[in-house]
A and B are shown apart, each in its own frame.
Chain A
Amino acid sequence: MEGVFSYAPAIAAFPLVAFVIALAFGKSLPKKGALAGIFATLGSLVLSALMLVAVASGEVYHETLYEWAIGETPSGVGGIEFTFGILIDPLSALMLVIVSLVAFLVHVFSLGYMNAEGETGLPRYYAGLGLFTFSMLAFVFADNLLMAFMFFELVGLCSFLLIGFWFRTRSAPSAAKKAFLVTRFGDYFFLIGVVAIAATFGTLQFAGDGSFVAAAEAALDGTGEAWTPAGIGIENWVTLTGLLVLGGVIGKSAQFPLHTWLPDAMEGPTTVSALIHAATMVAAGVYLVARMFGYYALSPTALAIIAFVGGFTALFAATMGVVKDDIKQVLAYSTISQYGYMMLGLGVGGYVAGVFHLMNHAFFKALLFLGAGSVIVIMHHEQDMWKMGGLKDKAPVTYYTFLAGALALAGIIPFSGFWSKDEILFDAMIVGLEEPVIMAAYAMGLLAVFFTGFYTFRMVFLTFHGEPRSETAEDPHPVGWSIKAPLIVLGVLALVAGIANLAPVAKLTGLDITFLEFWLDGEYGAVEGLTYSAYGELLAYETGVVGSEQLTVALAAGLSLLLAFSGAGVAWKLYNVPEPTAHKEKLGSVGDLVEDNYYQDEYQVWLAEGLTLPFSRAADRFDQTVIDGVVDGVSTASLFGGDRVKRIQTGLVTNYAALLVGGFIALLVVLGLYGGWFL
Chain B
Amino acid sequence: MTTGPELRTGKTLVPGLLAVALFGLMALIVLNTPFGTVGDRPVGFPEDIAIVSEIGYALFDLGALQSGQLAIPETESFLAAFLLIALTLDAALDASLVLAKREEEGEPVAALSSRGAESRSLTPPADRTTVADGGDDVEAEGGGETR
Contacts and interface: CB of A to CB of B under 8 A. Distances in A.
Q: Do any CB atoms of chain A lie under 8 A from CB atoms of chain B in the complex?
A: yes
B122 interface: no
B18 A677 contact: no
A164 B29 CA distance: 93
B29 A668 contact: yes
A665 B15 contact: no
Chain B CB count within 10 A is highest, among A657, A658, A664, A669, for A658
Given A677-B32, A678-B32, A662 B18 contact: yes
Contact of A661 (B18, B29, B32): B18
A677 B15 contact: no
Given A677-B32, A678-B32, A658 B25 contact: no
B25 A669 contact: yes
B38 interface: no
A679 B34 CA distance: 12
Contacts of A665: 18, 21-22, 25
A657 B21 CA distance: 14
Contact of B22 (A654, A661, A672, A678): A661
A654 B28 contact: no
B25 A668 contact: yes
Given A661-B22, A668-B25, 18 more contacts: A654-B15, A657-B15, A658-B15, A661-B19, A664-B22, A665-B18, A665-B25, A668-B22, A669-B25, A672-B25, A672-B29, A677-B29, A677-B32, A677-B33, A678-B28, A678-B29, A678-B32, A679-B32
Interface in A624-677: 654, 657-658, 661-662, 664-665, 668-669, 672, 677
Contacts of B22: 661, 664-665, 668
Contacts of A658: 15, 18
Interface of B: 15, 18-19, 21-22, 25-26, 28-29, 32-33
Interface of A: 654, 657-658, 661-662, 664-665, 668-669, 672, 677-679
A661 B26 CA distance: 13
Nearest to B28: A678
6 contacts: A658-B18, A662-B18, A665-B22, A668-B25, A672-B25, A672-B29
A664 B26 CA distance: 11
Nearest to A655: B15
Contacts of B25: 665, 668-669, 672
Contacts of B21: 665
Contacts of A657: 15
6 nearest interchain CB pairs?
A658-B15, A661-B18, A677-B29, A665-B22, A668-B25, A662-B18
Nearest to A672: B29
Nearest to A654: B15
B34 to A, nearest CB: 11
A466 to B, nearest CB: 112
A669 B24 CA distance: 11
Contacts of A678: 28-29, 32
A654 B33 CA distance: 32
Nearest to A671: B29
A544 B19 CA distance: 112
A422 to B, nearest CB: 109
A665 B15 CA distance: 13
Nearest to B15: A658
